[in-house]
Amino acid sequence: MLYSLARPFLFGMDPETAHELALASLKLIERTGMASMLAHTGPAHGVKLMGLEFPNALGLAAGLDKNGEYIDALAAMGFGFVEVGTVTPRPQPGNPKPRMFRLPEAGALINRLGFNNQGVEQLIANLARTRYRGILGSNIGKNFDTPIARAADDYEFCLAKVYAHASYVALNVSSPNTRDLRQLQGADELGALAGKLKTEQLRLADAYGRYVPLVLKIAPDLDDAALAAIAKCLLKHRLDGVIATNTTVSRSGVSGLRHAGEGGGLSGAPLCELSTGVIRKLAQLLEGRIPIIGVGGIMSAADARAKLDAGASLVQIYTGFIYRGPQLIGEILRALSAPGP
């Protein structure tokens, strides 16, 4: 209710400004003890996955809270897990503004943010101040000026830094907004990256006495051969999960709309079927051996259910949360908690 009143005001602003204002307001509400006015408090079914106990199957996708500044406020909304980032070894400003665009007729966003973040050291400092003790994912990437041939060094650096603070670590190799990043989804490149990071994960697990799952976030714009190669790599290197999917470079469903020609990744409703199709194919390839976290275009409880039915074990939202606010969280959790037919 509150968000439906605030949305016209927020949508009258530049999207990135509105994003920052909404998060700051949410943080204020949480600090004043009023978060219960927005939070979902109904029943929920827990999910055990990757050795972790998720209180419910709905998470917040990476990108909304890049630096881990709003975890307590976001977690109070009822999410079963929160993923922060993408974070890089060094701070970087991202791409020039404007770099985020709404396509409200399609329930969509285009962004070309470019991993704007304050760096992994600042993320760790922010995590040390949070009161949240639930499941926290840390999404990591490479700096824009790190050559692709040295990308694995950036991921290894970030993995070592966030390991002690994360419930799981997500490897973002699929953003369309960092030059050449998606090359890391190629069979040879991904194999080298996964092998190096698996070795580092096992070293860190021994050092900390705690195993932190490693998951891969992939693009929706992959053909069947590329998906098969990724599935093979996931199994070979024993990664713990896969997030499907990131934003798309396709403009199917938005052509002719204002801002449709902007560069960047498209998210929201037009992505939903494409992402769900990737999940379905991955589920067939992986045969239940590695869990899938489904994300991409979830704007309703039916969208979330479709991803679970396609083979995902958990789901995440981002653009749907921007368009519909906390109401979407409650709608999804009520639907997932309802008894089956």
- Average pLDDT for residues 69-97, to the nearest whole number? 95
pLDDT band at 38 (very low <50, low <70, confident <90, very high): low
For residue 289, tell me if it sits in a domain: yes
List pLDDT tens digits, range 138-155.
Answer: 999 999 999 999 999 999
Residue 23 clears pLDDT 90, i.e. is over it: no
Residue 282 clears pLDDT 60, i.e. is over it: yes
List pLDDT tens digits, range 284-297.
Answer: 999 999 999 999 99
Residue 338 clears pLDDT 90, i.e. is over it: no
Average pLDDT, the chain: 93
Give me the helix-helix angle, 224-236 and 272-286, nearest 10°.
Answer: 50
- In the chain, the percentage of residues whose pLDDT exceeds 70 is 95
pLDDT for 173 equals 94
Residue 211 or 36, more confident: 211
List pLDDT tens digits, range 42-62.
Answer: 667 899 999 999 999 999 999
Residue 19 or 254, more confident: 254
For residue 33, tell me if it sits in a domain: no
Distance (Å, rounded) from C-alpha 21 to C-alpha 149? 38
- Number of domains observed in the structure of the chain: 1
pLDDT for 141 equals 97
For residue 249, tell me if it sits in a domain: yes
pLDDT for 340 equals 56
- In the chain, the percentage of residues whose pLDDT exceeds 90 is 81
Residue 30 clears pLDDT 90, i.e. is over it: no
Backbone angles phi, psi at 280, to 5 degrees: -60, -45
Residue 341 clears pLDDT 60, i.e. is over it: no
Instruction: Give the CATH number of the domain where residue 228 resides.
Output: 3.20.20.70
Matching residue, tokens 């927020």: 10
What 3 state SS string does 57-79 have?
CEEECCCCCCCCCCHHHHHCCCC
For residue 257, tell me if it sits in a domain: yes
Annotated catalytic residue within 138, 167, 174, 175 = 175
Whole-model pTM over 0.75: yes
Residue 21 or 240, more confident: 240
What 3 state SS string does the chain have?
CHHHHHHHHHHCCCHHHHHHHHHHHHHHHHHCCCHHHCCCCCCCCCEEECCEEECCCEEECCCCCCCCCCHHHHHCCCCCEEEEEEECCCCECCCCCCCEEEEHHHCEEEECCCCCECCHHHHHHHHHHCCCCCEEEEEECCCCCCCHHHHHHHHHHHHHHHHHHCCEEEEECCCCCCCCHHHHHCHHHHHHHHHHHHHHHHHHHHHHCCCCCEEEEECCCCCHHHHHHHHHHHHHCCCCEEEECCCECCCCCCCCCCCCCCCCEEEEHHHHHHHHHHHHHHHHHHCCCCCEEEECCCCCHHHHHHHHHHCCCEEEECHHHHHHCHHHHHHHHHHHHCCCC
pLDDT for 243 equals 98
List pLDDT tens digits, range 200-211.
Answer: 999 999 999 999
For residue 218, tell me if it sits in a domain: yes
pLDDT band at 122 (very low <50, low <70, confident <90, very high): very high
pLDDT for 1 equals 53
Q: Range with the lowest mean pLDDT among 16-20, 101-105, 303-307?
A: 16-20
Domain that holds residue 196: 46-337
Is 252 considered catalytic here? no
Residue 167 clears pLDDT 60, i.e. is over it: yes
For residue 293, tell me if it sits in a domain: yes
Distance (Å, rounded) from C-alpha 44 to C-alpha 47? 10
Burial class, 48, CB count within 10 angstroms (exposed 0-12 / middle 13-18 / buried 19+): exposed
CA dihedral (116, 121, 123, 126) positive or negative: negative
For residue 8, tell me if it sits in a domain: no
pLDDT band at 339 (very low <50, low <70, confident <90, very high): low
For residue 204, tell me if it sits in a domain: yes
Nearest CA-CA partner of 74 in 331, 325, 324: 325
